[in-house]
Amino acid sequence: MSEKAAPPRPNLKQRTTSELSKAAVSGWLGTAMEFMDFQLYSLAAAIVFNKIFFPDVSPVIGLIAAMATYGVGYVARLVGAVYFGRMGDRIGRKKVLFLTIALMGASTTLIGALPTYQMIGIWAPILLVALRLIQGFGAGAEIAGASVMLAEYAPTKSRGLISSLVSLGTNSGTLAASGLWALLVSALPNDQLLSWGWRVPFLASFVVMLFAIWVRRSLKESPVFEDRADVVDGVALSKAEVAANAQHQGVLEEALRQKKGKAFLIALGLRFGQAGNSGLVQTFLVGYLATVLMADKALGTTAIMWGSLLGFATVPLIGWLGDKFGRRKLYMVLSTLTILFAVPMMLMITSGNSAIITLGMVIGLNLGVLSLFAMESVTMAEFFGARTRFTQLALAKEIGGILTTAIGPVLAATLTAVTGQWWPLAAMLIGYSAVTLVSAAVGPEVRGRDLVRLEDAV
């Protein structure tokens, strides 16, 4: 179940430590921006959006509606994954990453300036959905592009550890958003939170966007993209151009003849556990604690904040372990542990004890979300050939996100409203993690694979 790693290519353009550091900061910032946006929106959907954009319905229906607006962005993300993914495979990673960060940052900032339902009626949720769609369109290729860029920059032996810096961006963004929300919820009376406090985190994201754009301005293109056999003068040849150019036919024949799909389906299955668990732990459970269990509103955001802090140790550790022991084995271990912890976690969350609830969410976040995410970006980059890596990686992430992170919170809200029980949440955590476990079991070991190769691993 493993693929022999090819020796490093002597002609592959090497990047200096300074250039690698800049790529790492760029990937970290972009992913931090994406997940700051993600967490800002998801927490706002769970805590306030049902009141300021959907005030004329019951609390439970309002929560479902708010989660649905959160979910529509994933449709736009899929469109963005196709559009920007193909662009990134065709003209390079750097140009696409510049565009995606600008789209995400601008739309997130504008959400903070939106009028509420009380001000303009039905147009308020319509504008909210429109900005969420624009935000999703840019985000659809951001983390995929950052993952591809950093994996293609990193030395082979430490590729998992260095690529995990992208995952640390998710931690940084989640922590910043959760910290801001925890501070606002704790410090502001409810009327001030609903009138102006919720706007502050969205408007503050503008600063992160400016810094990320500044860093990416001077970032060099991926050395793997520059060394691809199908890239001429900085642009990848189309199939028709390859067919018309006998010089490239022999080099590209194997990649062009390979039937696509198997690597993509395995990668999609690997995505299920992380994305599905994230939607439940980082999004739904925060609202579930405040709305259904009637816990302190700050409890969920505080738990996510502590979990994110711990993640700064968890993520690089998992990245290093993946380099040492392989991606496949670690995926199987982490998925199995998450399955075993699902029921105990929900018992802890429904215990009524704040310390136990916090501990349950901290463990669940690090075990079932952050650990899998530390493995995800590098593993997917190694699964796919260089010619379609950006597109396939972006699609695997976004289709997996639609099927789990987007639909999951809405399904969870519906199931808990209908049953009045917590067990559907445990069942969903088990189901998501089981898909990832099976996918890892049937997939190959791809640690150390030559990323310049144009064909997929399977």
Return the CA Rg of the chain: 22
Mean pLDDT, residues 446-457: 92
pLDDT at 5: 46
- Residue whose entry in the numeric block shows the structure tokens 């693929």: 3
Per-residue pLDDT band at 441 (split at 50, 70, 90): very high
pLDDT at 13: 62
| This prediction's pTM | 0.83
- Residue whose entry in the numeric block shows the structure tokens 């995800």: 376
Q: Which of 449, 452, 334 is nearest to 383 (CA)?
A: 449
Taking the mean position of all CA atoms in its chain, how far away is CA 53?
26
pLDDT per position as a tens digit, 309-320: 999 999 999 999
pLDDT per position as a tens digit, 252-298: 666 667 788 899 999 999 999 999 999 899 888 888 888 888 888 77
Q: Which of 274, 439, 285, 270 is nearest to 367 (CA)?
A: 274
What DSSP designation does 448 have? T
Q: Residues 6 or more apart from 251 whose CB is under 8 A from it?
A: 229, 230
- Judge residue 217's burial from the number of C-beta atoms within 10 Å of its C-beta, 0-12 exposed, 13-18 middle, 19 or more buried: exposed
- Judge residue 246's burial from the number of C-beta atoms within 10 Å of its C-beta, 0-12 exposed, 13-18 middle, 19 or more buried: exposed
In Å, the largest CA–CA distance within the chain is 71
pLDDT at 80: 93
pLDDT per position as a tens digit, 376-433: 989 999 999 999 999 999 999 989 988 898 788 889 988 988 998 999 999 999 999 9
- Topology classification of domain 17-222+257-442: Growth Hormone; Chain: A; (1.20.1250)
- 10 Å Cβ neighbour count for 8? 14
pLDDT per position as a tens digit, 48-105: 777 777 666 556 665 566 656 666 777 888 999 999 999 999 999 988 998 898 888 8
